[in-house]
């Protein structure tokens, strides 16, 4: 027979054990580890690491990525700005409270279509081939402010203008194309120039070297600097004229490298280098300055037009700007070599007192594409000329050229 004491023990053994938290036992002390420097023991804290999947954008990828974030700092302690920890960073919102992130365009694409926002063009040749020269574009009519200073207000009307005293530019005279055969007949100059890239490169390189070596501004420059300035992808300026007065046996030998190139490709009947330069420079008219520049410009990108005049002057009424184009490929016939132009209904002269060496830039001028002329380059059309008071001009929005030489 079981005694009451035995029954009590059986009941206690059969009862379920209480959880540890219900027993209110004091927590066990944290483990200790020895300090290797002074032998002092310090408690070791238990830490955990959370892994959070977030959607974010970075510089190279607009998709979502999975990343591991460190544990948050406990509330109550915030680093002071003077603590040297650097600028305070915002904590990312929790995934549950933040809306889903969709694919977004890069900042430079907000105002453009994606294809137009690319800094470099994948195929500029196809763009210029699809562009119209628009040679029959109507003239632009400017309603000029009373003080006759830029920027003008542009109107499409062809019936009125506040500048009734300005001379009307005769139709068909804004832009003039000339072939090398027109200046130097009997040599098949145009055909050789357009079809032979080696000839064009040799011609351009020899002109640059001869002008460089005969320009006083470059005298005494080091050979290393000379090589850098003559790199074919850089612009270069000087004068197309021979110095005057000319004395000594080497009078006609300024463009000696150019003479050798012309004779090698065109034969002994070819003009000398100086005859070539003066033949093209002679198209500049009676008020020419002799200034010459080989312009490379921006190639392989689409740019916005920047309408301007180089001087806004036309001394003697026959002074012209002359461009000799160097296309990027053989037998090229198309746009993108010469400057683009807007034909003016009336002559536009520089404001009184404007420095002749500074261009007149019309920063606020926006032109509808139907008024933009993209002059064509081709065989027999290697040279383009115009009076600076008859047009506004700009670098091509898409250039397709090695360079263009400007004679003034």
Whether 87 is covered by a domain: the verdict is no
CB 119 within 8 A of CB 299: no
Q: What is the pLDDT of residue 364?
A: 86
Confidence of residue 252 (pLDDT cuts 50, 70, 90): low
- The answer to whether residue 108 sits within a structural domain is no
Straight-line distance from the first to the last Cα atom of the chain, in angstroms, rounded to the nearest whole number: 133
In a domain, 57, yes or no: no
pLDDT digits (tens, 9 = 90+) for 351-362: 999 998 899 999
Question: Residue 314 domain-assigned?
Answer: yes
Domain membership of residue 11 (yes or no) is no
Its domain, for residue 321, covers 124-407
Phi, psi of 110 (to 5 degrees): -65, -35
- Counting residues of the chain whose pLDDT is more than 90, the rounded percentage is 53
* All residues at 6 or more sequence positions from 135 whose CB lies less than 8 Å from its CB, including other chains: 175, 373, 375, 376
The DSSP bridge pattern shows strands 383-386 and 321-327 to be antiparallel
Distance CA 321, CA 407 (A): 6
Q: Judge whether 260 lies within some domain.
A: yes
C-beta of residue 323 within 8 angstroms of C-beta of residue 339: yes
With respect to residue 203, please indicate whether it lies within any of the assigned structural domains: yes
The total domain count for the chain is 1
In-domain check, residue 93 = no
If pLDDT is split at 50, 70 and 90, which confidence band does 378 have?
A: very high
199: helix, strand or coil: helix
Region label for 296, one of left (φ > 0), alpha (ψ between -120 and 50) or beta (otherwise): alpha
Radius of gyration for the chain, computed over Cα atoms and rounded to the nearest angstrom: 38
Evaluate the CA torsion angle 15, 16, 21, 26 in order and state its sign.
positive
Burial 241-262 (b: 16+ CB within 10 A, else e): bbeeeeeeeeeeebbbbbbebb
What are 317-333's pLDDT values in tens digits? Answer: 999 999 999 999 999 99
Q: What is each CA distance from 210 to 192, 233, 263, 291, 390, in whole angstroms? A: 22, 17, 16, 15, 33
């Amino acid at each position: 027979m079981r005694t009451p004491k035995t029954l009590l023990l059986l009941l206690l053994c059969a009862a379920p054990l209480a959880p540890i938290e219900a027993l209110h036992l004091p927590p066990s002390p944290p483990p200790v580890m020895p300090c290797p420097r002074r032998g002092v023991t310090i408690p070791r804290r238990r830490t955990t690491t959370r892994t959070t999947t977030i959607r974010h954008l970075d510089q190279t990828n607009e998709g979502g990525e999975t990343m591991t974030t460190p544990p948050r700092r406990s509330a109550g302690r915030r680093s002071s700005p003077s603590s040297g920890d650097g600028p305070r960073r915002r904590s990312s919102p929790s995934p549950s409270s933040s809306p889903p992130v969709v694919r977004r365009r890069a900042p430079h694409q907000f105002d453009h279509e994606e294809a137009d926002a690319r800094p470099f063009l994948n195929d500029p040749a196809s763009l210029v081939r699809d562009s119209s020269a628009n040679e029959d574009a109507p003239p632009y009519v400017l309603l000029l402010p009373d003080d006759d200073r830029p920027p003008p207000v542009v109107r499409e009307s062809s019936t009125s203008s506040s500048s009734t005293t300005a001379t009307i530019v005769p139709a068909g005279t804004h832009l003039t194309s000339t072939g090398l055969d027109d200046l130097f007949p009997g040599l098949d100059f145009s055909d050789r120039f357009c079809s032979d890239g080696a000839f064009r490169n040799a011609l351009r390189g020899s002109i640059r070297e001869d002008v460089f070596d005969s320009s006083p501004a470059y005298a005494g420059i080091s050979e290393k600097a000379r090589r850098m300035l003559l790199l074919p992808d850089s612009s270069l300026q000087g004068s197309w004229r021979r110095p005057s007065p000319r004395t000594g046996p080497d009078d006609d030998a300024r463009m000696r490298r150019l003479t050798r190139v012309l004779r090698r490709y065109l034969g002994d009947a070819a003009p000398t280098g100086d005859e070539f330069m003066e033949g093209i420079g002679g198209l500049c008219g009676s008020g020419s300055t002799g200034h010459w520049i080989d312009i490379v410009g921006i190639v392989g990108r689409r740019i916005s037009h920047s309408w301007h005049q180089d001087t806004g002057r036309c001394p003697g009424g026959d002074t012209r700007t002359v461009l000799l184009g160097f296309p990027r490929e053989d037998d090229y016939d198309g746009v993108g070599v010469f400057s683009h132009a807007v034909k003016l209904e009336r002559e536009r002269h520089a404001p009184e007192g404007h420095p002749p060496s500074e261009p007149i830039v019309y920063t606020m001028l926006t032109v509808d594409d139907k008024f933009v002329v993209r002059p064509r380059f081709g065989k027999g059309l290697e040279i383009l000329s115009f009076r600076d008071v008859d047009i506004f001009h700009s670098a091509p929005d898409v250039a397709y050229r090695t360079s263009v030489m400007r004679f003034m």
